[in-house]
Amino acid sequence: MDSIEVGRQKAERLHKDGVAYGHNPWEPYGFVCAEAARRDLIVEEVAKGDVRLYGGRAVYDADSLLIIHEQSGDRFTDAFLVAHEIGHAEFGGGEAPSQATKIDPLQASEAVPLGVDRVVDYSHRQRREVLMNVFAREFLLPRSWMRDLHLDERLTAAEIASKCGAPHAVVAQQLLDALLLPPIVIPEESQVANLPLTTDQSAAAEHDGTPLLLEAGPGTGKTKTLVGRIEYLISKGVDPASILVLTFSNKAAGELSERIAARHPQAVASMWIGTFHGFGLDIIRRFHDRLGLPRDPRLIDRTDAIGLLEDEYPRLGLKHFKDLQDPTGNLAEILAAISRAHDEVVDANAYRKLAEVMLTRAGDDRERLQSECHLEVAKVFAAYEKLKLDAGSIDFGDLVALPVRLLETHEDVRAHLASRYKHILVDEFQDVNRSSVRLLKALAGNGRNLWVVGDVKQSIYRFRGASSFNVARFGREDFGGGERRRLTRNYRSVKEIVDVFSTFAAVMPSSKDSEVGLDADRGPSGYEAEYRSVDFVDDEITAVAETIHNMREAGYRYRDQAILSAGNERLTRFADHLEHLGIPVLYLGSLFERDEVKDLLSLLSIIIDRRPMGLLRVAALRGYATPLSDVVNFLAYVRELDCGPMKWYAALDNAPDLSGPGRSALRRIGDLLNGFLPGSNPWDVLATVLLDRTRMAAEFAVAPDVRSKSQALAIWQLMNFLRVQPSAPGLPIYRVLERIRRLVLLADERDLRQLPIAAQGIDAVRLMTMHGSKGLEFSVVHIPGLNEGSLPRSAAAMVAHGISPPDGMIEGAEGKGTDAVKAALLEEQECLCYVALSRARDRLFLYSPTKKSNGHRCARSSFIDRLAGHLQVQHIRPALSINALEENAVPITFEGRVVYTDRQLSLYERCPRRFLYTHVLELGGRRRETAFMKLHVAVQKVVDAMRNREALTTDQLKALFEETWVAAGPVDHGYRDEYKSIAWQLIRFYVESVGDMRVQPSEELRLAVDGGEVVVTPDQQLAGASGQIVMRRVNTGHKHSKEDEKLAAAAFQLAATMHRPGCRVELVHLSDATVTPVSLSAQKLANRRQSLSDVSRAVGAGHFPAKAEITCPRCPSFFICGRLPEGSFTKKILA
Amino acid sequence: MNLNDREVILYAFAIEPNHDRQTVERYLRQYPEIAEDLIDISSERRLREAAWVQSNDAIADPHWKEAWEQFRQHKPQGVSSGQAVSPFSTFRGQAFAKLAETLSVPRSFLTALRDGLVQASSIPERFVRRLAQTMGSSIDSLRNYFANPQASLLGRAFKSDDKPSQQGQVTFEELVQCTNMSTEQRQRLLEDCKDYGLDRGRPAEG
């Protein structure tokens, strides 16, 4: 995207020129017309749809020195159209008149890396239009001007907008860019990139006659050679339109495109450069009718797919993947299995056949179970394909799989495309999966003009189906007669580092039997790579911190240094602690779980929540600080009022029990959001908050520290995300909050962790995953966490989650599907390490702790042992130390003894923080009500109604159920009958499980523990014929693992046997149709009793730490979780 | 060679009935300086011709077909290569601006004529005469040019990633009505229309 930034900066300069010339930027249309005239151009207006517009909205014609634009009806839009065309005039390059069709004053300079944008990058021509949109906005309202107006003259976005007649959104977008992003420094053209190709490189670039696989290790000039190849083809007179260049990321495609455009602007416009997925989508659009799809099929992501399947779920009748509470998790796993099948071009039918074969061959129960699971996946697969087709949608997996099937079954289409693309080039060939190879085979025929480059040692996308198998087959089974060449000289790293990763590679399974050594062009530096062991995990952080300081003294800036880790958890910990140690770090982490982002999301939630729990978080913000007790009292008052969203604002004066400062702080929060409606657009709301109603963005703009800069980047990223949301019915704020929950739950927000390009100039240590470091380089690289079990992780642990493919699905893998997955994952770990090691230019430091926190030995990674002889080894005892970043106790006083129920207790056990929000502060809160949730509510109501009642006749029961169902069940759902029949089954089980026992009134059981009391009210008390008493807890959902051994169960058993010695205690789970006895041993009961006292004391002491779990997004308090307002709070007893 | 000549040659080449080897070689010999563009177009043309001849379904997108049909319909009749030199070719940049000024018409009025957006039969004789006089070309060549719209109208379709788009035409009088100009300018052009002998509803104020 560099050319866009170049264009933006040029627009900014031209704007200043115009102002210096005396033109008035506050009159945008007059300004652009005067600027056009200064360029000898005349601006003419015509009606919309005039023939001279050729279907567009504006035209620039160099031959007649003319800009024509439509009369848009809005002067700013007119000005924007003219500015857009002035951009074309400034940049030239088109012999044909330029014509603007897609005018977007809000065009983002960086696309949001989610959804369709992730797949389809702008084509060269579109990129030009993007550039002109960015140019036009900048020419009219340059960032520097906006910044000055907001910071120095203190004008709000709304004031600027009204003064120059521009839409608020456009001014706001400019201000957000100007205030939240650091200024971008355009890097000098890399010297190496401009050097001529070396002999090896040019021999590879000019290869002719057979398919070529160029093995290009790290730092050997891979991209340069690829560009060289394209330039060679152009120089030979090859028609650029016949060149197809396939890459794995839009970023790579964009970079290639720009590098070629610099010297061959005409040629690049007609080449096809983009990702496999983007190319696939292009084919699907071109031949949509052959695929039975609409002209522009909707691309759905995993979140959409789960939504589609969730509706269908009650009809599928699954056994192994049954989840009557929330099928999201199972569906996500099944979708991953389906996506893996797509990688191998295996459709639902073929999948089912594979599963059937497995079933017939199954030798034991475990194998039978596995096969049955696969059959269920096949069932969902078939249903999913049909749902997609009916909806005219496709998913990411289809983008390559559908074109493959199309080309393999329609010879005319294949012939047409094969004759169109005579030269096919593939970047990162090690990352292709089987379906991509089949696409290439169909397109390239004998592959004479196929040219691919890759490094099998850097294959880190195994989970996407990439396989060294494809590299191994090149020139043999695939693309027979193909040759291989190898680039052998590394231009990036010093010899010591090249030796380290080459030594590592020598025994990598994916590169066995092949040459892996590289010559280091830079020669030796005199500094060996170092391995620094430390005692404990925390010492690792301080050891890294000290090394960072040392390297800084040696002349390396923070930004020259990177910390690479296999997983995000370690990075989060490092980021927190390094920041406390005063080292600036650049790490966004999980965007939606960052404090400043949660603050804004909580603010949004207030607008739509009847019970505005978001107040609790906002009340902790500077400028809005409200004492804790005031917020809690006020929320209790709002709960009683039971009014619509934001109606509390008007009732603020009447609220009792508020302190003066508290009341006025709450008023300020109300003022901040006043006037917004539940239907407001989230981007508009936050833009107004940031730029009109507060000086928040302004404060970020002037804050000098890296932490604030990271926060500003995170907010910018959030706003960029909010700006483009898929359109759907419902309240936009509610929808976006639900979408965020789901994205986090499915870990589909990872791409948002990438830093915007503008972050490049910030002087801070880079923290990133090894995956994320691919293709980058740093002067100094630190790799902590090199322990056995961390890297490499055990394959068994990795395949514990997820569904392994059925046997025989993965082409080239013999034997069990599970084994194939394990082998691939192990290979991937090796590749990850190789990638990480080879990122370093000058210095490389590896770290690992040697002891666990309990003092037990913690073995270092076998990967380190492999590098023996190439590492300088030392054990470090850092002088620095880190303070535990503990959460402070919540200052709560309980009046009287703490009393709570067993259900509350089990919540504390799951997450003490959630216990605080739910039972101490009683926030309540809004969650998405799925059909399943409604089903459970209805069943629970029936169970409650039957408590303490004699057995009902079937008719009575049916009547009760009908009545409850109508009131609480998902009666509006398309599949209500299916849901109802499931609910009825649950109730039937509930009734049947009683058998011939008699229902007795259940009694309240109290159990005293140190510092408190637990109250248990059984859902059922039964008496058997022999007088045996049975007490039951009835749960409508599924049983959690070891639920019968948890604290709540123990409290139940303790309380029940105390009241009724010898009674039986049971847990009933209706969704599982099980009855589980609770019969903990005396020893266990004694332990649990101790734990119960511990919990009581912890609650009394205000100890409510959050337990971060992958299920957090399901928690009602997800957005507010974290900071609390200042002050203390007195709580009456709990239960 | 200026840009305009290049366009004219490329256009002529593009509308050659076929793009076999002889045709391509003939052009390459004559215009080696634009070889790259010629090859570019020839492969594109060849591919489309092949696709068209082989099977109507080779390109399966119905919208493409539609557009292609329109494109074909616009193909000028009776124009052979080399004949389609635009009388506007020497009026570029300031020369064009001057021309519009001399004729006292807005530039966009003139580009519409230049680009074949006006039905040839609707252009008044008197205007053509005035235009020919100012441009220093013959009335016949102008008439011929207007009857065979070319230049950028079709030039737009040259780029391979564009599908040809439908482009309508307007009458001279419609063009007068939908172009911003002074009352005097409009008056004069409408007078031209009158002279053409077809009084098709003058504006109320006229």
pLDDT, tens only, A540-593:
999 999 999 999 999 999 999 999 998 888 999 999 999 999 999 999 888 999
Whether residue B131 lies inside any domain: the answer is yes
pLDDT of residue B71: 44
Same domain, B186 and B101: yes
Query: Looking at the predicted structure, is the pLDDT value of residue A342 above 50?
Result: yes
**B50, part of any domain:** no
Alpha helices in A746-794 (DSSP H): 770-773
Q: Picking from A102-106, A717-721, B195-199, which range would have the lowest pLDDT averaged per residue?
A: B195-199
Whether residue B100 sits in one domain with residue B161? yes
Tell me whether strands A450-454 and A98-100 are parallel, antiparallel or unpaired. unpaired
Residue B50: the pLDDT is 44
pLDDT for B203 equals 41
Which of these, B47, B168, B33, B186, lies nearest to B104 by C-alpha position? Answer: B186
When the pLDDT of each residue in chain B is averaged and rounded to a whole number, the result is 69
A668: Cα separation from own chain's centroid = 34
Q: Sorting pLDDT into bands at 50, 70 and 90, what band is A190?
A: low
Would the CB atoms of A64 and B155 count as touching at under 8 Å?
A: no
- B185/B124 same-domain check: yes
- Note whether A630 and A663 are within 8 A (CB): yes
Q: Kindly state whether residue B63 falls inside one of the protein's structural domains.
A: no
Mean pLDDT of A375-399: 93
In a shared domain, residues B41 and B105: no
The reply to whether B100 and B32 lie within a common domain is no
> For the packed helices B3-14 and B21-30, what is the interaxial angle rounded to 10 degrees?
170
Strand partners, A298: A393
| Across A291-305, A1062-1076, B68-82, B134-148, least confident range | B68-82
Give how far the C-alpha of residue A1090 lies from the chain's centroid of Cα atoms, to the nearest Å.
41
- The residue of chain B with its CA nearest to that of A69 is B108
* Number of other residues whose CB lies within 10 A of the CB of residue A1129: 21
Is A755 or B123 the better-scoring residue by pLDDT? B123
Look at residue B112 and tell me if it is in a domain. yes
**Residue A1015 phi/psi, 5° resolution?**
-115, 130
Stretch A210-215: mean pLDDT: 94
Q: How confident is the model at residue A797 (pLDDT cuts 50, 70, 90)?
A: confident
Shortest alpha-carbon distance between residue B135 and chain A (Å): 15
Sign of CA dihedral A568, A574, A576, A579: negative
Tell me the C-alpha to C-alpha distance, in Å, between residue A248 and each of A267, A299, A470, B12: 22, 18, 16, 41
Burial of residue B191 (CB within 10 Å: 0-12, 13-18, 19+) is middle
Reference A100, options A55, A167, A66; nearest CA is A55
Structure confidence at residue B158 as a pLDDT band (50, 70, 90): very low
| Helical spans, DSSP H, in A467-516 | 468-473, 495-506
Read off the amino acid at residue A795. Answer: A
Tell me whether residue B189 is in a domain: yes
pLDDT of residue A818: 83
Question: Residue A1021 belongs to what H/E stretch?
Answer: strand A1020-1023
Residue A510 pLDDT > 90, yes or no? no
Residue A201 has a CB neighbour count (10 Å cut-off) of 24
- Rounded Cα distance between A1065 and A921, Å, is 32
pLDDT at B77: 39
H-assigned helices in A563-627: 568-580, 595-608, 614-618
Q: Is A489 helix (H, G, I), strand (E, B) or coil?
A: strand
Same domain for B32 and B112, yes or no, is no
Q: What is the average pLDDT across A6-12?
A: 89
A150 or A302, greater pLDDT: A150
3-state secondary structure of A69: strand
For A45, the closest chain B residue by CA position comes to B180
pLDDT at B76 over 80: no
B34 inside domain: yes
Beta strand A450-454 pairing with A423-426: parallel
- Average pLDDT of every residue of chain A: 89
Nearest alpha-carbon partner for A754 in A771, A766, A772, A770: A772
> Do B180 and B107 share a structural domain?
yes
pLDDT at A761: 84
Is residue A1041 scored above 50 in pLDDT?
A: yes
Q: Nearest CB to B111: which of A64, A266, A288?
A: A64
Q: Nearest-CA distance from A239 to chain B in Å?
A: 6
Number of H helices, E strands in chain B: 11, 0
> Count of CB atoms within 10 A of residue B18's CB?
11
* Minimal CA separation from A52 to chain B, in Å: 6
Q: Residues A1096, A1097, A1101, A1107: what is their CA dihedral angle, to the nearest 10 degrees?
A: -60
Q: Within the 292-351 window of chain A, which residues sit less than 8 Å (CB to CB) from chain B?
A: 295
Residue A350's SS3 state is helix
Q: According to the model, what pLDDT value does residue B166 have?
A: 46
Check CB contact of A52 with chain B, cutoff 8 Å. yes
Asked whether A514 and A505 are in contact (CB, 8 A), the reply is no
Between A124-140 and A75-91, two packed helices, what is the crossing angle to 10 degrees? 120
Question: For the segment A253-301, what is each residue's pLDDT rounded down to a tens digit?
Answer: 888 888 888 788 778 777 888 889 989 988 998 888 899 998 888 888 8
On whether both B35 and B115 belong to a single domain, the answer is no
Its domain, for residue B26, covers: 3-45
Count Cα neighbours of A234 within 13 Å in the Cβ-side half-sphere: 21
Please report which confidence band the pLDDT of residue A112 belongs to, taking 50, 70 and 90 as the band edges. low
Asked whether residue B61 is assigned to any structural domain, the reply reads no
A42 part of contact set with chain B, CB < 8 Å: yes
Q: What is the number of CB-based contacts under 8 A between chain A and chain B?
A: 115
- Cα separations in angstroms, A521 against A198, A561, A842, A1073: 12, 22, 13, 69
Q: Do B40 and A240 touch (CB under 8 A)?
A: yes
pTM score: 0.85
Q: Which of B90, B103, B161, B169 to mutate to test the interface with A (most CBs of A within 10 A)?
A: B161
Does A74 score more than 70 pLDDT? yes
pLDDT at position A95: 43
Considering the domain architecture, whether residues B39 and B112 belong to the same structural domain is answered as no
Query: Looking at CA atoms only, how far is residue B67 from chain A in angstroms?
Result: 14
**pLDDT for B67:** 44
Residues B176 and B110 in one domain: yes
Sign, CA torsion A733/A734/A738/A739: negative
Measure the CA–CA gap between A175 and A636, rounded to whole angstroms. Answer: 39
What was the pLDDT predicted at A789?
85
Chain B contact probe: residue of A45, A48, A64 with most B CBs at under 10 A:
A64
Residue A750 is which amino acid? R
Q: What is the mean pLDDT of residues B131-149?
A: 88
A65 and B108 in contact (C-beta within 8 Å)? no
Confidence at residue B7, expressed as pLDDT on a 0 to 100 scale:
64
Q: Model confidence at A130, in pLDDT bands (50, 70, 90)? A: confident
Same domain membership, residue B110 and residue B35: no
Q: What ipTM was estimated for this complex?
A: 0.71
Segment A425-446 shows an average pLDDT of 91
End-to-end CA distance of chain A: 59
- Asked if A620 and A603 touch (Cβ cutoff 8 Å), the reply is no
- SS3 at position A595: helix
Look at residue B74 and tell me if it is in a domain: no
Structure tokens at A84: 């857009």
| Contact status of A897 with chain B (Cβ, < 8 Å) | no
β-sheet with A423-426: strand ranges across: A272-275, A243-247, A423-426, A450-454, A212-216, A483-487
Write phi, then psi, for A766 (nearest 5 degrees).
Answer: -85, 130
**Is the confidence at residue A1088, as pLDDT, over 70?**
yes
Better-scored residue on pLDDT, A631 or A301 = A631
Which residues fall within 8 angstroms of residue A263, CB to CB, at 6 or more apart?
A231
Matching residue, tokens 């409508």: A1036
Give the residue on A whose Cα is nearest the Cα of B89: A63
DSSP helix/strand/coil, A348: helix
- Residue A181, helix vs strand vs coil: coil
The answer to whether residue B181 scores a pLDDT higher than 90 is yes
What's the domain count of chain B?
2
pLDDT tens-digit profile of A523-535?
999 999 999 999 9
For B110, the closest of A54, A64, A289 (CB atoms) is: A64
Average pLDDT estimate for A227-247 = 92
Residue A382: strand, helix, or coil = helix
Q: Which of A26-30, A988-992, A1025-1029, B197-201 has the lowest mean pLDDT?
A: B197-201
| CA distances (Å), origin A422, targets A895, B21, B78, B88 | 81, 19, 35, 39
Cβ A147 vs Cβ A701: under 8 Å: yes
What mean pLDDT comes out for the span A208-212?
92
Q: Is the pLDDT of residue B157 over 60?
A: no
pLDDT score at B149? 65
A848 pLDDT band, cuts 50/70/90, is: very high
Rg (CA), chain A: 32
B22 plus B103 within the same structural domain: no
Q: What is the DSSP letter of A689?
A: I
How, if at all, do strands A1012-1016 and A898-901 pair?
A: parallel
Q: Is the peptide bond before B203 cis (omega within 30 degrees of 0)?
A: no
d(CA A714, CA A593): 10
Q: Which amino acid type is present at position A153?
A: E
pLDDT at site B21: 67
- pLDDT cut 70: percent of chain A above it: 95
